[in-house]
Amino acid sequence: MYFQGPMQHFINVHTHNMADNNAIISFYEAFEQSGTVPHCSLGIHPRYTEKTSYAQLEAFAGQGNVLAIGECGLDKLCDTDWSLQETIFRQQIALANKLGKPLIIHCVRAYSECSHLLAAAKVPVIFHGFNRNLRIAQQLLDQGFYLSVGAALFNPAFEPVFTALPVDRLFFETDDRDDLEIDSLYKRAAELKKIGAESLILQVEHNFKKVFNHAR
């Protein structure tokens, strides 16, 4: 168990807002500050590889309040050398396996490449900020991965995708959007799914326990 205090109701699985204490706060630098928050994830972001190092990550990733490794992954729209991105991603998958902690994935236009490398993952995997089409969603779901959805809930083009996603594979997140409230995301999602907000909240709590208790 990694919980330091209960995390429940309107769980925010990915944010960069240090003030949110019902969230997994994601750090891609300054890992030494992660000890000040109740729940976090630490990772080397493919866009910001120069901001930290694998040695730094390894030094802090074992702390009890570090619930997951990430965000990590592959990003085809950034300038980071591709083979470096792959190397760092592989290292983090191996670290997550070693620590038994889930992975939170940042993926931009590299779904097949991410999926390929994630075949090595022995821990649950959450793709954060999912906003793509149903075909990509289905490929990820078929591999057993979870999807975390944020601002895309307010994009009309994403509605038919979201309504088709299975609730037992979903999480919600505000990411870097300080203008978004996590409870408004749950409310919007429940409307789109035509289910009660309370049952959606309970379902995500269930998903959370399943994914994060897997990590012994």
- Residues forming contacts to Zn ion in the complex (CB under 5 A) are 175
Q: Least distance to Zn ion from the beta carbon of 14, Å?
A: 6
Nearer to Zn ion, 142 or 179 (CB): 179
Comparing every residue's Cβ against Zn ion, the nearest one is 175
Cα-based angle 30, 93, 4 (whole degrees, multiple of 5): 55
Sheet with 23-27, strands from edge to edge, namely: 12-15, 23-27, 40-42, 66-75, 103-108, 125-127, 146-149, 170-172
Nearer to Zn ion, 145 or 190 (CB): 145
Nearer to Zn ion, 26 or 115 (CB): 26
Q: Least distance to Zn ion from the beta carbon of 12, Å?
A: 11
Nearer to Zn ion, 75 or 175 (CB): 175
Nearer to Zn ion, 17 or 203 (CB): 17
Q: Least distance to Zn ion from the beta carbon of 106, Å?
A: 7
Q: Least distance to Zn ion from the beta carbon of 175, Å?
A: 4
Nearer to Zn ion, 106 or 190 (CB): 106
Q: Least distance to Zn ion from the beta carbon of 196, Å?
A: 29
Whether residue 101 contacts residue 124, with contact meaning beta carbons closer than 8 Å, is answered with no
Q: Least distance to Zn ion from the beta carbon of 104, Å?
A: 8
Task: Count CB neighbours of 22 within 10 A.
Answer: 16
Task: Count CB neighbours of 194 within 10 A.
Answer: 7
Distance between terminal CA atoms of the chain? 6
